[in-house]
Amino acid sequence: MSVPTRAVAPPAPTIWRLLPAGSYAGRARMMMLRSLTASRHTWLAFVSGFFEPVFYLLAMGTGLGSLVGDLPGPDGQPISYAAFIAPGLLAASAMNGAVFDSTYNVFFKLHYARLYDSMLATPLGPVDVALGEIGWALLRGGLYSAAFLSVMAGFGLIDSPWALLALPAALVIAFAFAAIGMAATSFMRSWQDFDLVTLAVLPMFLFATTFYPLSVYPRWLQLVVECLPLYHAVELMRRLTTGTVGLGLLPHLAYFVVMIAVGVAVAARRLGTLLLR
C-alpha cells in the first residue's frame, strides 16, 4: 500500500532568500496606487519635469547647434548637433524623473510624514514599500521619456524604427536610477545630504557625453566617464535612435541590470532596518 506524500511548496526564488523573512507580501502595486492618487494634487510639479529637456534641446540643439555643425554618430556617420544631444537629453530625462522622486520624496515620507511606519501596520512589508516607490519613480521617469521622445519625433530627430525600443530602454534606465536613488536615500540623515545628490547628478549630466562626444576628453577622463551610469544610458539611447543596433548594446543593459539588483536589495534591507527596529 503506497503512502500518500504531502505536497511540498516550491522553494522561494533565490533573490528573496537574500531578504528578511516576511518582508514581501506581493502588494507593491498598492504603493503605486497611493502615489498616483497623491499626485493628482501636485500635478503641476509632476509635469514640470517634462519641460527642462525641451528647453535644453531648443537652446543647445537649435541655438548652439548652428555654430557647432555636425558631429559623428555611433556608426561614425555625421549627424546634426540636435540629433546628437537629443538622445542624451532623453536619457537624462529618465534619470532625473527617477532620481528626484526616489530621493527627496522618499526622504520626506520616511523621516517627516512617517508614512511608511503606518503602512507596515498593514499587510505591506519593507520590500513592498521599496518596490512600490521605485515603481512609481520608474513610471515618472518613463512618462518624461515618452513625452520627450514624441518631441524628438516632432523635430525629425529620429532616424530609425529602432527608436521604438528607446521607451522600454528608458524604463530600464529609470528603474536602475530609482533603485540606487532609494538605496542612497535610506542612508541620508538630513536635507543637507541632498547636496551629494546634486553633486552626483549634475556632473553626470554635463560630462557623460550628453553634449560632447567622448573623444574630446583625454584618455584618463574617458575612463572615468565610461564608469558613469548616465554614459551607458546615453550610449544606449543614441544607438537606438540612430539605428546602430548590435551586440554592443548588451554591456550597457547589463550595467543597469546590476544597478537594479543592487539598488532593490539594499533599499529593501535598509527600509527593514529603519522601520522594523
Taking 80 as the threshold, does the pLDDT of residue 180 lie above it?
yes
Confidence of residue 50 (pLDDT cuts 50, 70, 90): confident
Yes or no: say if 22 and 43 are a contact pair by the CB < 8 Å rule.
no
Confidence of residue 45 (pLDDT cuts 50, 70, 90): low
Yes or no: say if 178 and 130 are a contact pair by the CB < 8 Å rule.
no
Taking 90 as the threshold, does the pLDDT of residue 257 lie above it?
yes
Q: Which three cell numbers stand for residue 163?
A: 527608436
pLDDT tens digit sequence for 98-131: 888 788 878 887 777 777 777 767 777 777 777 7
Taking 70 as the threshold, does the pLDDT of residue 135 lie above it?
yes
The pLDDT of residue 24 is 52
- Burial call 154-191: b when 16+ CB within 10 Å, e when fewer: ebebbeeebbebbeebbbbbbbbbbbbbbbbbbebeee
Nearest to 83 by CA among 156, 148, 165: 156
Beta strands in 22-76 (DSSP E): 71-72
Distance CA 19, CA 127 (A): 8
The pLDDT of residue 49 is 66
The pLDDT of residue 1 is 46
The pLDDT of residue 46 is 63
Which residues lie across from 78 on neighbouring strands?
A: 72
Written as one string, the DSSP assignment of 226-248 is TTSHHHHHHHHHHHHHHT--STT
The pLDDT of residue 28 is 67
Cβ neighbours for 159, distance < 8 A, ≥ 6 positions apart: 79, 83, 241, 242, 243
The pLDDT of residue 258 is 94
Q: Count CB neighbours of 231 within 10 A.
A: 23
Confidence of residue 15 (pLDDT cuts 50, 70, 90): very low
Taking 50 as the threshold, does the pLDDT of residue 146 lie above it?
yes
Least confident span in 53-57, 170-174, 252-256: 53-57
Least confident span in 60-64, 159-163, 210-214, 231-235: 60-64
Cβ neighbours for 236, distance < 8 A, ≥ 6 positions apart: 91, 169, 173, 249, 252, 253
The pLDDT of residue 255 is 94
Rounded mean pLDDT, 27-55: 70
Q: Is the dihedral of CA 58, 84, 225, 269 positive or negative?
A: positive
